[in-house]
Amino acid sequence: MAIRKIGLVTRTYRHVNRYRQILTVLVKYGFDEIVDSLKIGQYVEIGLQLISRGHREHVESLTRAQRVRMVLEELGPTFIKLGQVLSTRPDLIPVEFVTELEKLQHTVPPFPFAEAKEIVEAELQRPLDRVFEQFDEKPLAAASIGQVHRATLRDGDDVVVKVQRPGIRAVIDVDLEILFHLATLIERHIEGAELHKPTRIVDEFSRVIDQELDYTIEAKHLEHFAAQFINDPTIYVPKVYRDATTHRVLTMEYIEGVRPSDLGQMAQRGLDRKRVAARGAELILKQIFAHGFFHADPHPGNMFILPSDVICYLDFGMMGRLDRRSREDFADLVHGVGAHDPARATTALLRLTEHNDDVEPDRRRLERDITEIIDLYSATHLGEVDLSKLLQRLMELVQRHRLRIPADLVMMLKAMTTVEGVGRMLDPDFDMVAAARPHVMKVKLDRMRPQRLLSDMQESGAEMLQLAREIPGGVRDLLQQAKRGHLRIGFEHRGLERMIETHEKITNRIAFAIVVAALIVGSSLIVLSNLPPTWYEIPVIGLGGFLAAGLMGFWLLVSIMRHGRM
């Protein structure tokens, strides 16, 4: 989804109502200092400066994380989805915010069946009864983006139909444009915010939500996932009905099973909890290390347990991908920690992460911190290692060293910790670290296979040959530009924006003060000249000039005091 940037007055006025609502909710929950620091009044119309701050909730007893969650819930689908995405990014936000954002509820009241029927018929270009033998008017579930109805196809197959909310894309488009504008202001005005690149987060979030708004992408995910496990009897993947699926309607097989969290039902149906826990771990590890395409949100609400302890995933809207290099780097990191080799672990972590070009990470300090983590777990039995706490410490280390982890890698870590939590709920003796060990070793051993070594050598040789071909031409171009006097070297100044902004403010205030002084002097001359018309023998024009100068001077004084700088 391409985000159109807000900047022009015409575009800003189109978003005025939603912008006012967002700022009002921020102020309502005690985030007015953020609104002030972003200097919104300089970039949007004057009307937004008049937001009332008198009707705030009593939020003094709530934590900052709780208030953030309440803001997102009140602002609706786009912001709820943003909070859910951020809850999977412990590398970007503190752990207390992650915990709180995981509580975000995306269930909302359903929209009327008449609207759902209209959307389905418009998308499938056929009357409802021509496609479905039976279609339940009451939805099974309703969420912020769509709702799900149970139905029966004309051939008798039981299905569920996911229908997108009417007008939801237009609402999300406006919200994304406003979010991008706010992210730009955050990078410009809040010190240290540029490290996490808020505009980049919004771009990434836009890509995620764009995929969720296109149900044909979820259908492709489902088919790709099914192909990976076509001969695996431990997993069942629902069938997708392509002839009844479009961008806004998804029709897939109806599945009936037991949620992993319903331990009573599992016992009643004779399902083996330990076996399910082991299979769940094996499946997610296969997805990550063998296929590189994995279910990114395998929580108990997104899966069923079928007879014979078969696992069935349900929602394929959020999937992750890891290329071969990332899988190998992660295996090196895990092996480095397990082998008590901080140097190798540090090298792998630096390959996995990103950092700002102008801030080189301190490798020695990073290696020392990794050594502390290794020492912390060196005396711990493998089965006693809590993977979620280990990854939490790793995320804190990444934040401390101002590094960034790619989104898909964070989704992978989140998926592994989610499966570990489900596994320990089913089996208190479940050991995710032990389950992962053979997969990590397989990745490392595969790298040493003769076919792989030969392939890597051929690939490197081809790249070196291509580089050798390009170097003479590049050098020739440089020499020709230098000979013609067209060779230019560009310099980029960074960090001057605040100084330029301060100078502009100073210049504006000086000019404003000069205008006020000129009004006072001019008005004084008019008063002394006794030019008619007069009021109580005082020239009206001069009196008006004094009044205007007084108002302008008072406005300038209030502006200076408001920003705390006299």
Confidence of residue 495 (pLDDT cuts 50, 70, 90): low
Instruction: Please determine, for residue 245, whether its predicted confidence score (pLDDT) is greater than 80.
Output: yes
Confidence of residue 10 (pLDDT cuts 50, 70, 90): very low
Residues 135 and 98 in one domain: no
Question: What pLDDT does residue 282 have?
Answer: 93
Residues 356 and 369 in one domain: yes
Residues 299 and 159 in one domain: no
Residues 101 and 116 in one domain: no
Please answer whether residues 329 and 348 qualify as being in contact, where contact means their C-beta atoms are separated by less than 8 angstroms: yes
Question: What pLDDT does residue 18 have?
Answer: 81
Instruction: Please determine, for residue 443, whether its predicted confidence score (pLDDT) is greater than 50.
Output: yes
| Residue at 486 is within a domain | no
Examine the fold and report which residue of 434, 459, 484 is the final residue of a domain before the chain moves on.
459
- Report how far residue 87's alpha carbon sits from residue 72's, in angstroms, rounded to the nearest whole number: 12
Residue 434: enclosing H or E segment and its boundaries? helix 432-446
Instruction: Please determine, for residue 45, whether its predicted confidence score (pLDDT) is greater than 60.
Output: no
| Residue at 52 is within a domain | yes
Instruction: Please determine, for residue 49, whether its predicted confidence score (pLDDT) is greater than 80.
Output: no
Torsion over CA of 547, 553, 557 and 562, rounded to 10 degrees?
70
Which single residue is written with the structure tokens 């709180």? 100
Confidence of residue 53 (pLDDT cuts 50, 70, 90): very low
Question: What pLDDT does residue 52 have?
Answer: 46
| Residue at 475 is within a domain | no
Residues 349 and 442 in one domain: yes
Lowest mean pLDDT among 78-92, 112-126, 157-171: 78-92
| Residue at 410 is within a domain | yes
- Report how far residue 411's alpha carbon sits from residue 389's, in angstroms, rounded to the nearest whole number: 16
Check which CATH number belongs to the domain holding 139 and give it: 3.30.200.20
The string of pLDDT tens digits covering residues 226-242 is: 999 998 999 999 999 99
| Residue at 289 is within a domain | yes
Q: Which residues contact 60 (CB under 8 A, 6 or more apart)?
A: 30
Residues 27 and 121 in one domain: no
What value does the mean pLDDT take over residues 511-520? 78
Residues 417 and 531 in one domain: no
Residues 406 and 538 in one domain: no
Question: What pLDDT does residue 109 have?
Answer: 83
Question: What pLDDT does residue 80 have?
Answer: 86
Confidence of residue 148 (pLDDT cuts 50, 70, 90): very high
Residues 308 and 190 in one domain: no
Residues 357 and 419 in one domain: yes
Residues 276 and 360 in one domain: yes
| Residue at 180 is within a domain | yes
Instruction: Please determine, for residue 454, whether its predicted confidence score (pLDDT) is greater than 70.
Output: yes
**What DSSP line would sit under 85-131, residue for residue?**
HHTT-TTTS-HHHHHHHTT---B-PPPPHHHHHHHHHHHHTS-HHHH
Question: What pLDDT does residue 48 have?
Answer: 45
| Residue at 245 is within a domain | yes
Domains identified in the chain, total number: 4
What value does the mean pLDDT take over residues 204-218? 88
Q: What percent of the chain has pLDDT over 90?
A: 24
| Residue at 468 is within a domain | no
How far does Cα 404 stand from its chain's mean position? 13
What value does the mean pLDDT take over residues 418-440? 87
Confidence of residue 243 (pLDDT cuts 50, 70, 90): very high
Task: Tell me if residue 304 falls in helix, strand or coil.
Answer: strand
Q: Which residue has the higher pLDDT, 423 or 380?
A: 423
Domain that holds residue 323: 259-459
Mean of the per-residue pLDDT values of the chain:
81
Confidence of residue 473 (pLDDT cuts 50, 70, 90): confident
Instruction: For 164, list phi and psi in degrees, rounded to 5.
Output: -75, 145
Top mean pLDDT of 173-177, 256-260, 477-481 is at: 256-260
Instruction: Please determine, for residue 9, whether its predicted confidence score (pLDDT) is greater than 70.
Output: no
Question: What pLDDT does residue 153 have?
Answer: 95
Cβ atoms within 10 Å of 399's Cβ, excluding its own:
19
How far does Cα 166 stand from its chain's mean position? 24
Question: Strands, E, within 440-532: which ranges?
Answer: none
Q: What percent of the chain has pLDDT over 70?
A: 84
Top mean pLDDT of 246-250, 324-328, 494-498 is at: 246-250
What value does the mean pLDDT take over residues 76-89? 82
Question: Cα dist. 511→254, 499, 518, 563 in Å?
Answer: 71, 18, 10, 19
Query: DSSP assignment, residue 194?
Result: G
Top mean pLDDT of 79-83, 269-273, 529-533 is at: 269-273
Burial of 130 (0-12, 13-18, 19+ CB in 10 A): exposed
Residues 285 and 401 in one domain: yes
Lowest mean pLDDT among 2-6, 135-139, 192-196, 431-435: 2-6
Q: Which two tokens stand for residue 50?
A: 């008049």
Q: What is the set of active-site residues? A: 297
What value does the mean pLDDT take over residues 323-329? 87
Confidence of residue 35 (pLDDT cuts 50, 70, 90): confident
